[in-house]
């Protein structure tokens, strides 16, 4: 009887569980049994592993073979267990030293010819292995850069099972030919899910053309929405643009991700892990360093927004936009069920998806931007534009954005039509993305210094209790906000969000704490009521 074990990782959402792959050989009729809650693709690994071992020059054991995946209560899915299963079988057959593979985590799919193909979710899998105390990881060569992002782990990238056997036996490593016929590398197909990428709204539409980088200077006029965009980026505040078609709502939203500061190391690892699991991590770019941008179509279902799918839930748009921008264009056209499902992640920064196969907690701390027309035809707010929508239709259309959802939106700005002078640049071009991004970085630095030693990094994350007891505004600055609270214009949550925005406005000015004019700007951006606050470019 022969026995050996290796290790691999099962992904549950974006979290990994180290799985012990055990192989046992017994005398009897040749058979291959795989146990431990495998899914369909993992059950098929029996045929893939057998063909890969034989085509790699090793002998397949003609005995009763049982492979167990422990812990057996955790569902296992995907083809990333192939490499560990093959090595465990060869260890049980004494082709490899069982002690040499017992504490090695192996992740990768095997082709029938023995080549090791990359799989999705390598980064969260290696993170889980490191947290469990494992120090040696074997991954496909194409994902070695992604795995090497985890500190304290020795990463070995292999191209074939034949190479891995030679390394474990301390034999000369054979060279594997690379397809150099100019075709796309077929080995990278496992990293990308068909239907994702640009077509799924994972990049600004204006950035998909070659030779042009979207810039805020391209936006004609709109000083108030531009300033609201800057405040949203500086403090991480959610934003609503409402106005007629063609006023520039989408252009402004598409340029927000470029205004946000680069991701920190920890944030980059979080975003990269989600994108790796979702299959949208571009090959050759193992680490996401810029804030992501996700703009799902208004026909998106609730499951595509918050996460779901058959079996274990997969990340949705709110998780793909983690630490970045989630842009919902034509927001009233989304289903009410899908929009209201955003309430939990807007408050908590994560989403919990419960399905029959299990419960998954996915990160979802994003900056939401909504764009809405005033009515179905879009001309309701224009004077003399000929809007024929009945008042009941206008009310019903605007009510599609529920009150509880809008109460979680810090900034609500009316985008006015662009006049001729602004459109023809007679009034001069606005500030560029680089200029605004520099001010945003300075404001975030001030907020980070003030919040040092707390679990929060941006003003939008600070609880209201802290704003009312420890981080106090200037004496008498809250008088206008208190009057709005008494009149019912603001809710208790709305007052807290006004305070958060006021702190961001003060950070943009370089002030030590909010004053009455900062509160006035925050109230005007939230309620839309004109209060004479300075909102022109550079006024803050």
Sign of the Cα pseudo-torsion (452, 457, 459, 461, in order): negative
Torsion of CA 144, 189, 309, 328, to 10 degrees: 90
Cα distance between residue 92 and residue 23, in whole Å: 6
User: Which of 46-50, 235-239, 533-537 shows the lowest per-residue confidence on average (mean pLDDT)?
Assistant: 533-537
Instruction: Give the DSSP per-residue string, 444-505.
Output: HHHHHHHTTTSS--SGGGS-HHHHHHTS---TTTTHHHHHHHHHTSS-HHHHHHHHHHHHHH
Percent of the chain with pLDDT over 90: 53
Beta strand 325-328 with 367-372: parallel, antiparallel or unpaired?
parallel
Rounded to a whole number of angstroms, the CA Rg of the chain reads: 28
pTM as predicted: 0.88
Local structure of 365: helix, strand or coil: coil
Q: What is the pLDDT of residue 503?
A: 92
Average pLDDT score, the chain: 87
Question: Is the model's pLDDT at 32 over the cut of 90?
Answer: yes
- For 457-507, what is each residue's pLDDT tens digit? 899 999 888 888 888 888 888 888 888 888 888 888 888 899 999 999 999
> In residues, how long is the chain?
540
pLDDT level of residue 170 (50, 70, 90 thresholds): very high
Q: Output the six-digit token pair for 256.
A: 């927000």
Cα distance between residue 266 and residue 264, in whole Å: 6
Q: What is the pLDDT of residue 200?
A: 47
> DSSP code of 191?
G
Q: What is the pLDDT of residue 323?
A: 93
Q: Which ranges of 203-301 would DSSP assign to H, the alpha helix? A: 223-235, 249-254, 256-259, 265-278
- For 192-225, what is each residue's pLDDT tens digit? 555 544 434 566 655 555 556 788 888 887 888 9
Local structure of 170: helix, strand or coil: coil
Per-residue pLDDT, averaged over 1-22, amounts to: 91
**Helix or strand holding residue 26 (H, E):** strand 15-26
Phi and psi of 27, rounded to 5°?
Answer: -60, 145
- For 292-342, what is each residue's pLDDT tens digit? 999 999 999 898 899 887 767 789 999 999 999 999 999 999 999 999 999
Q: CB neighbours of 278 closer than 8 A, spacing ≥ 6?
A: 120, 193, 196, 314, 315, 319, 320
Q: Output the six-digit token pair for 400.
A: 């599609």
- For 15-26, what is each residue's pLDDT tens digit? 899 999 999 999
Cα distance between residue 500 and residue 526, in whole Å: 11
Exposed, middle or buried: residue 67 (CB in 10 Å: 0-12, 13-18, 19+)?
buried
User: Which of residues 429 and 384 earns the better pLDDT score?
Assistant: 429
């Amino acid at each position: 009887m022969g026995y050996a074990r290796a290790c691999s990782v099962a992904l549950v959402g974006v979290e990994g569980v180290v799985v012990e792959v055990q192989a046992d050989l017994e005398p009897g009729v040749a058979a291959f049994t795989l146990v431990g809650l495998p899914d369909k693709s993992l059950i098929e690994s029996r045929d893939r592993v057998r063909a890969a071992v034989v085509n790699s020059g090793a002998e397949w054991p003609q005995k009763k073979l049982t492979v167990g995946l422990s812990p057996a209560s955790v569902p296992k899915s995907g083809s990333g267990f192939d490499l560990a299963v093959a090595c465990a079988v060869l260890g049980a057959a004494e082709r490899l030293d069982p002690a040499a593979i017992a504490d090695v985590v192996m992740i990768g799919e095997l082709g029938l010819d023995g080549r090791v193909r990359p799989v999705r979710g390598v980064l969260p899998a290696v993170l889980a292995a490191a947290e469990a105390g494992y120090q040696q990881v074997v991954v496909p060569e194409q994902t070695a850069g992604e795995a090497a992002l985890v500190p304290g782990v020795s990463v070995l990238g292999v191209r074939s099972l034949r190479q891995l056997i030679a390394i474990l036996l301390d034999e000369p490593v054979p060279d594997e030919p690379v397809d150099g016929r100019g075709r796309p590398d077929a080995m990278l197909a496992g990293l990308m899910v068909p239907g994702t990428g640009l077509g799924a709204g994972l990049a600004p539409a204006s950035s998909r053309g070659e030779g042009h980088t979207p810039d805020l200077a391209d936006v004609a006029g709109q000083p108030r929405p531009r300033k609201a965009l800057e405040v949203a980026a500086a403090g991480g505040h959610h934003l609503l643009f409402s106005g007629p078609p063609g006023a520039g709502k989408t252009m402004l939203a598409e340029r927000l991700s470029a205004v946000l500061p680069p991701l920190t190391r920890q944030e980059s690892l979080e975003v990269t892990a989600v994108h790796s699991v979702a299959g949208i991590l571009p090959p050759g770019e193992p680490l996401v360093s810029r804030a992501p941008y996700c703009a799902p179509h208004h026909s998106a279902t609730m499951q595509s927004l918050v996460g779901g799918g058959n079996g274990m839930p997969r990340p949705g748009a709110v998780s793909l936009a983690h630490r970045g921008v989630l842009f919902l264009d034509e927001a009233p056209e989304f289903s009410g069920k899908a929009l209201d499902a955003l309430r939990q992640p807007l408050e908590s920064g994560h989403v919990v998806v419960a399905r029959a196969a299990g419960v998954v907690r996915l990160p979802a701390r994003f900056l939401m931007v909504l764009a809405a027309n005033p009515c179905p035809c879009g001309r309701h707010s224009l004077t003399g534009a000929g809007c024929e929508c009945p008042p009941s239709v206008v009310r019903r259309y605007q009510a599609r954005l529920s009150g509880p959802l809008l109460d979680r939106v810090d900034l609500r700005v009316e985008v006015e039509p662009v006049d001729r002078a602004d459109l023809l640049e007679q009034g001069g071009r606005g500030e560029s993305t680089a200029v605004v991004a520099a001010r945003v970085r300075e404001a975030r630095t001030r907020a980070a210094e003030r919040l040092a030693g707390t679990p929060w990094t941006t003003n939008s994350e600070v609880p209201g209790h802290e704003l009312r007891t420890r981080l106090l505004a200037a004496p008498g600055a809250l008088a206008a906000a208190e009057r709005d609270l008494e009149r019912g214009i603001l809710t208790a949550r709305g007052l807290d969000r006004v305070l958060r925005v006021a702190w961001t406005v003060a950070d943009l000015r370089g002030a030590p704490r909010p004053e009455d004019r900062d509160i006035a700007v925050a109230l005007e951006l939230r309620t839309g009521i004109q209060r004479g606050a300075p909102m022109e470019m550079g006024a803050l």
